[in-house]
Amino acid sequence: MKKSYEKSKTEEFIKNYSWNFIKTILSRFGGLVITIILARILLPELFGIYGLTFSIALIFLTFADLGINETLIRYVSYSIKRKKQAASYLRYLFKLKLIFAIIISGFLLILAYPLAFFVFRKPLLLYPLLASALFIFIFSFEGFFESILYSLKKVRYSGIKEIFSQSGKIIILLVLFFAIGINKSVYHIFIAYSIVSIISIIYLFYCSKKLIPEIYEKSNHKINKKRVLKFLTFLVIGSVSVVLYSYVDIIMLGLFVESDFIGFYKAAASLAFGIVSLFASAPVVLPIFTQTKKDLGEVANKILKFLFILSIPSALGLLALGKYFISMLYGAEYSLSVFPMYFLSIIIALAPLSLFPVLLSAREKTKYIAKVTLLSLFANICFNLILILVLINISQLWAINGVAIATASASTFYYFIFVAIVKKKMLLKLKYSNMFKPIFAGIIMFASLFFINKLIEVNLITGILEIVLAIIVYFLVLLLIKGISTSDFKLLKFLFRK
C-alpha cells in the first residue's frame, strides 16, 4: 500500500512536472530568442539598460505579489473539494492582489525619475521604468490566474498559454523594430510585454472558469483570515528577499560599472538562470506536498532523484560548451560573458534543492523561509559589495566575475541551510546517492566533451551532435553504476504516455 501511494504521488508529480517543464522550456526558449534579438539589436549599452530596468521591474513586481500567488496555490488546493471555501479564499486574495498592484505600480511611476537620474545616474532608464510600471500592474494578474491552474493541478493549460505568450512577444517586438526602430529606445519592449500579458490573462481566466466555475461564484463561506495572513506574512518576507536576492547582483552592478558590462553579465545570467528555471518545481510540488499526509520523505526523495539526474549534467554541459553557446547565441560582442557564466553554473547543479523551502511552505512553516532568505540576502549583498569593491580596482570585467562568484556562493549557502532545517524540523532523510551517482556520470560526460572539443571545431552542427553524444554517454554511465533503475524508466515512460 505504501509503495502504491508513493508511486501515485510520484507519477502525479511527473505528469504535472512534465507539463511545467514543457511550459518552462517554451518560456526559456522564447525568452532566449527574445534575449538574442534584443542583445543583437540593442548592443551591450542599451541591452544593459534593458537588463537593469527588467531587474528593477521584477523587484517591484514581487512587492505587487507579496507571496499571494503561492498562498493561493496552498489554500485553494487545500480546500478544492470544498468549492465555496475555495471561492472565498480566491476572492479574498484577489482583493489583496488588486490593492498591492495599484500601490506598487504607482510607487514605481513616482520613483522612476529619481532612480534614473540620481541613484543609477543613467537618464536612458527613465522611459523604460515608466513603461515597466504598466507591465508590473498587468503581469501581476497573469501570475495570479496562472496560480489557480496550478492549484487545480491543470498545468497543461499554462503550457499552452506559454506558446501564445512567447510567440506573441517575438512577433510584436519584430513588428515594433521594423515599424519604429526599437534599437533607439527600450520602453517599447515593456509596452509589448504588457499587450501580450493582457491576452494571456483572458485565456487563463477562461480556462480556470471553464474547469471550476464554482470558485468564481460569490461565496459567504467564512475563512480563517488570520491563518492566511500569518502564512502570508512570513511568505512576504521570504518572497521579497528571494527576488532581491535574485536581482541584487545586477542592481549593484548598475551602481558601479558601465551599461555594457551590465549587458555582459545579463547575457551570462540569462543563460545560466534560464537553465536553472527548468528545475523550478515549486508550483507543481506545492499542491502535492500540501495534500500528502504520509510518506512525505519518500515522495520528496523520489522527486529529488528525478531532478538531480537532469540538473547535474546540465551544469557540467554548460561548463563544457558554454563559451560556444555565448558566441553563437549573442555574438562575438559578448565574449566577456563567458567567465561569469562559468561561475554561475554551480547554481544549476544545486537547483533541485529549491524543493526544501517548498516542503516547509506546504507544512505552513514559512517563518523558516523568511529567516533563511533574509540571512542569505544579507550574505549575498555583503559578498557582492566586497568583491565588487576589491575587484573593480583590477577591471570592470573582474567586477562582474566577482558578482557571479558572490551569487553562486550565496546560493550554495541558501540551499544547504534549508537542507539542514528540513532534516531537523521535519525529520526527513536525504539520500545522498541521488547526487553522487549523477555527479560521477556527469564528470565522465564532461571529460568526453572536453576531449572532443580539443579535436574538432565546434559550430552549430557539431555542437548539436556533441549534445546528443553527451546525453548518450551520461545515461550509459548512469546505467552502469545503477544510478537509474527500471522503475525510473517506467516513470519516464509514464511521462511520455501522459
The pLDDT score that the predictor gives to residue 343 is 92
Domain for residue 191, yes or no? Answer: yes
**At CB < 8 A and 24+ separation, what contacts does 319-327 make?**
319/345, 319/446, 320/446, 320/449, 320/450, 320/453, 320/470, 321/449, 321/453, 321/458, 321/463, 321/466, 321/467, 322/271, 324/458, 324/463, 325/271, 325/463, 326/267, 326/268, 326/271
Is the confidence at residue 464, as pLDDT, over 70?
yes
Which of 135-139, 328-332, 468-472, 488-492 shows the lowest per-residue confidence on average (mean pLDDT)?
Answer: 488-492
- Of the candidates 158, 165, 203, the residue with the CA atom closest to the CA atom of residue 21: 158
Candidates 108, 142, 150; CA nearest to 127 is: 108
Domain assignment present for residue 481? The answer is no
What lies within 8 Å, CB to CB, of 356 at 6+ separation is 415, 418, 419, 421, 422
C-alpha cell at 198: 493582457
Phi-psi region of 218 (alpha: psi -120 to 50; beta: other; left: phi over 0): beta
Q: For residue range 167-197, what is the model confidence (pLDDT) as tens digits? A: 888 888 777 777 666 555 788 889 889 999 9
Span 99-122, average pLDDT: 91
Q: Give the pLDDT band of residue 198 (cuts 50, 70, 90).
A: very high
Asked, for residue 38, whether it belongs to a domain, the answer is yes
State mean pLDDT over 14-33. 67
Q: Which residue has the cell 566577456?
A: 336
Within a domain: residue 141? yes
Match 551602481 to its residue by C-alpha cell: 255
Q: Which range marks the domain in which residue 38 is found? A: 2-431
Name the grid cell of 461. Answer: 552542427
Q: What pLDDT, on a 0 to 100 scale, did the predictor assign at position 112?
A: 93
Cell of 473: 554517454
Per residue in 49-83, pLDDT (tens digit) is 888 898 888 888 877 777 788 788 877 777 777 77
Task: State pLDDT tens for residues 363-417.
Answer: 767 677 777 878 888 888 899 999 999 999 999 989 999 999 998 998 888 888 8
Cα–Cα distance between 108 and 114 in angstroms, integer? 10
- At 136, the pLDDT band (50, 70, 90 cuts) reads very high
| Domains in the chain, number | 1
Q: What is the 3-state secondary structure (H, E, C) of 59-88?
A: HHHHHHHCCHHHHHHHHHHHCCCCHHHHHH
182 vs 179: CA distance, rounded Å: 8
CA distance 204 to 228: 24
Residue 37 CB neighbour total at 10 angstroms: 16
| Residue 42, SS3 per DSSP | helix
Q: Please work out, in degrees rounded to the nearest 5, the angle formed at the alpha carbon of residue 430 by the alpha carbons of 68 and 292.
A: 45
Q: Is residue 344 part of a domain?
A: yes
Which tops the pLDDT comparison, 367 or 46?
46
Whose CA is closest to 270, among 158, 397, 365, 404?
Answer: 404
Q: Does the pLDDT at position 497 exceed 50?
A: no
The rounded mean pLDDT for the chain is: 80
Q: Residue 330 and residue 459: Cα distance in Å, rounded?
A: 14
CA dihedral 483, 488, 489, 490 (to 10 degrees): 160
Note whether 216 and 351 are within 8 A (CB).
no
Q: So what's the pLDDT on residue 103? A: 92
CA 296 – CA 280 distance, rounded (Å)? 19
Cell numbers given for 377:
540576502
Residue 56 lies in a domain: yes
Confirm whether 287 is domain-assigned: yes
Does a structural domain hold residue 14?
yes
Between residues 9 and 463, which one has the greater pLDDT? Answer: 463
